[in-house]
Amino acid sequence: SLPSMVCGLIGSGIQASLTPAMHEQEGEAQGFRYVYKKIDLDPLGLTADDLPELLTAARRMGFSGLNITFPCKQAIVPLLDELSDEARALNAVNTVVIRDGRLIGHNTDCSGFAEGFRRGLPGAKMDRVVQLGAGGAGAAVAHAALGLGARQLTVFDIDPARARELAASLCARFGAGRCIAGNDLATAMAETDGLIHCTPTGMAKLPGLPLPAELIDGRIWVAEIVYFPLETELLRVARAKGCRTLDGGGMAVFQAVGAFRHFTGLEPDAERMRAHFLSM
Ligand code: SKM
């Protein structure tokens, strides 16, 4: 019989997630039986407080790994035996490997954005980068941007305190001055090499542009993390101006590529996973 494996995704409101299908199809293509369960807290009447019980159950039932999403990415951290450097720095985990009863936390949102960026925008100039959004996804992406070599990242958020906190924690890790909380978007956009978008604006349920179109100059690159829809208004406007662009499918696919690698120890076919993602 074929080798088999069970993994899962723990979070709230995850019924529409494409992650399980991406994992199962890649597992099948690599010749093993891979079941990837959605463990949706809402219908179970559970919260992040119930994570210890779910982790015990997953260990006892022979799960090889778990992805962790909203609202559990921080709550899971103190329950793990080991953390990767990135997971520790972000204090956020989206991938837990279960090996010999031990729980090892990783963050493939961060590495996933970086991998998508390197492939999708090779050679992008990164002396100055502007990022919109300093929430959970924004923190992972900002971390990735500095790791990719952004010399100075200017972060904006509707909650200025949140932008300041993220900037302070990134400076502590990457060096003073590498990240600043912005206050004048027009000036920052006039001086930037690229724009990274990490707010929910542009999602199907929240259509629109996250900044005035006239602030986007055709010489900059634009990276999006919204992937539903894949073609956001921001990307449409940016392309029309001649910008190089990266859509949000990169991060969605490469967080799964990274998790698959951690769970299985096998190298996934990223192109095949992206093609499958696009077909759904
Ligand atoms: O970090 C990812 C997670 O691994 C899977 C996911 C999803 O399928 O909705 C969303 C992100 O939080």
Q: Is the CB of 92 under 6 A from ligand 1?
A: no
Per-residue pLDDT of the chain (280 residues; tens, 9 = 90+): 788 999 999 999 999 999 999 999 999 999 999 999 999 999 999 999 999 999 999 999 999 999 999 999 999 999 999 999 999 999 999 999 999 999 999 999 999 999 999 999 999 999 999 999 999 999 999 999 999 999 999 999 999 999 999 999 999 999 999 999 999 999 999 999 999 999 999 999 999 999 999 999 999 999 999 999 999 999 999 999 999 999 999 999 999 999 999 999 999 999 999 999 999 9
Instruction: Ligand 1 pocket test: pick from 12, 17, 38, 39 the residue with the most ligand atoms within 8 Å of its Cβ.
Output: 17
Q: Which residues pair with 228 in a beta bridge?
A: none
CA atoms of 37 and 18, how far apart (whole Å): 12
Q: Domain spanning 4-106+252-279 has what CATH number?
A: 3.40.50.10860
Q: Is the CB of 111 under 6 A from ligand 1?
A: no
Specify the DSSP class assigned to residue 181: E
Phi first, then psi, for residue 224 (nearest 5°) are -110, 145
Q: Domain spanning 110-247 has what CATH number?
A: 3.40.50.720
Opening angle at CA 82, ends 77 and 87, nearest 5: 55
Q: How far is CA 180 from CA 117, 137, 156, 165, 212, in A?
A: 21, 18, 9, 10, 21
CATH fold match for the domains 4-106+252-279 and 110-247: yes
pLDDT at 272: 98
Least Cα distance to 189 among 156, 236, 226 occurs for 156
Q: Is the CB of 232 under 6 A from ligand 1?
A: no
